[in-house]
Structure 1
């Protein structure tokens, strides 16, 4: 009879611990700045730069429903760890545990749904260790997070793509629950030729920078080589976006605002084309190999250089001069690039440049 009663007590304790929390059970502590539980979006953690610069799988697109404020799928992709008090040898009854359950939820905006995927959680000790660094205590990845932590104060870094926020939590005996407002959104970029013509030749990528300059007069790169159509998750802010078409001088710049809880879609327009250079003895003739090329501006500044019989470059619309060198002889001609007008530029050997 005594054994049956002990088993029943242990099963009751386990059942209470794994009972799922409803949305109404999750609350956001209303703490004053500087107090335990207060959120610190830009808090710098001493000697731990990795904490604030660790995006959660930025190459994985976020769920569009979350970014656009759609309905979230109930549940969590982070497994819940069962928790029950240990049996003490003296009494045979459950005794107090040294760990407390901690339940964390992330949202992009105040009125948005909780994120169910793509969130990375890192929990750090509140004070530096002997090496002057904050010790990583626990991690989780997925949607909401369920930890077992000893009572005390902690830093929690929540990352969602390139968006991130650092918060303080105070763990006490019993359940600690907190909702982290990331104040973040998404951006989706595309590029076309002026006149809304699709770009089908060449490669377009985007670089996303902070809008403000640092002390050295440079902008900090947030995300580089972003492909058209990819969704990038960012903290709500205004960013300086550079669209690069090809690898020479066809670039477009724009400042774009990311709103919390929203997906911002933006299209930039390029004025450029792809040109292929040929040195020939006569118009339409065979290209001469082992030729070195220099493309210059009308003022004589070098735009790009190359070697070969058929070098191809994507150039911004405008006027250029090309110089071909073959067997110590120089040949030259002027040409113009028009938007989306791809083609060949032939340099005749009869256009010998006097040296």
Structure 2
């Protein structure tokens, strides 16, 4: 539209100039407008021209009968036509896959340089390297949030190789009941270090009078730490059988030897030397007794018998039920009481160290009733 208007404006001055050269009265001076179709005379110059806008040329919807435009309020799906005879895709049998597969995360110290920290142990400075029985544990120097040490690595080899980053660590090495705690500052360069445990071994046993060895199945030992006050002692090892080597740090220990489970026990303070096995033999003063209730000496034991053993001062040290109760008693004098079918029998007996024997209580050893009268014999 703008292009047509511009072309018209350019043609009007040219036409007017041509008319003037012919002597006419301009474009509208003669012809149709000069007393022609509209009558009257035409103006000397043309008036202003206004171009119509595009909106003026488009008829209003009400004039052509079209409904007004309304915005969509819902989006309903459009049903697509179904193809008949379409091929069916073949079924693919795939293996079962987990619903979620976590991605492996790189370790925090992946970017830090790692080298080998090699550790070995000796019992003494000039001793050989320990070949077995070691347990190595490497902890972080800084404890965790809950205050517990964080275990970094462990090993049970005689020579431990730890691939760890540069940093400070707390080393704990155990050798039986012996142990060592030491701080290690690792520079990140391959390092070999030997620690000195300063430990040895303790082997225990016991004898009775006459140099005879105590019965091994009845013998056990408890090992305590050394202390001036017995209440401050700490139990290090309990129920240690005889002839077993217990690995301990060098130092003095308090040993309790129990022979049987009644009253036969002895105590001793023993020193353990580093790099050596210390053999300690304690002297027990006790004997093994087997009790029987018989009608006559050498007779058959009577079943369903209850036993009570008291010291000379009246303290009960052992109670048992059976035809052949067996027990280890410390050396001394005892009162043996047997009860069978509401009848009570008793006998005094002396225990001598190392003299294991059978003790017979006969039905003739009747005990007096509480009112002082004797009960009838079987």
Both structures adopt the same fold (TM-score exceeding 0.5): yes
Partner of 2:308: 294
> 1:286, 1:313 → 2: CA distance?
20
CA positional deviation for 1:130: 2.3
CA positional deviation for 1:250: 1.5
Alignment of 1:109-148 (within 5 A): 109-148=124-163
Gaps of 5+ in 1: 1-94
> 1:285, 1:202 → 2: CA distance?
29
CA positional deviation for 1:125: 0.6
Partner of 1:279: 293
Pair 1:103 & 2:118 matched: yes
CA positional deviation for 1:100: 2.1
Pair 1:180 & 2:180 matched: no
> 1:290, 1:220 → 2: CA distance?
43
> 2:194, 2:352 → 1: CA distance?
54
Partner of 1:339: 353
Compare CA radii of gyration and give the structure with the larger one. Answer: 2
* Structure with higher strand content: 1
Partner of 1:239: 253
Alignment of 1:1-355 (within 5 A): 98-200=113-215, 202-212=217-227, 217=231, 219-354=233-368, 355=370
Partners of 2:336 and 2:348 within 8 A in 1: yes
> 2:301, 2:244 → 1: CA distance?
39
Secondary structure of 2:227's counterpart equals strand
Secondary structure of 1:310's counterpart equals coil
State the Cα RMSD in Å.
1.9
> 2:327, 2:234 → 1: CA distance?
28
Partners of 2:288 and 2:357 within 8 A in 1: yes
CA positional deviation for 1:213: 6.4
CA positional deviation for 1:311: 0.5
Partners of 1:202 and 1:274 within 8 A in 2: no
> 2:261, 2:206 → 1: CA distance?
15
Partners of 2:177 and 2:246 within 8 A in 1: yes
Partners of 1:319 and 1:337 within 8 A in 2: yes
Partners of 2:307 and 2:339 within 8 A in 1: yes
> 2:175, 2:219 → 1: CA distance?
25
> 1:137, 1:121 → 2: CA distance?
11
CA positional deviation for 1:342: 1.4
> 2:113, 2:341 → 1: CA distance?
82
CA positional deviation for 1:199: 2.9
Gaps of 5+ in 2: 1-109, 371-378
CA positional deviation for 1:275: 0.8
Partners of 2:112 and 2:165 within 8 A in 1: no
Secondary structure of 2:243's counterpart equals coil
> 1:196, 1:151 → 2: CA distance?
60
Report 1 or 2 for greater relative contact order, CA contacts < 8 Å, sequence distance ≥ 6.
1
> 1:337, 1:134 → 2: CA distance?
55
CA positional deviation for 1:230: 1.0
Count the aligned residue pairs: 260
> 2:306, 2:228 → 1: CA distance?
39
> 2:228, 2:366 → 1: CA distance?
47
Q: With structure 2 as the length reference, what TM-score do the two structures score?
A: 0.66
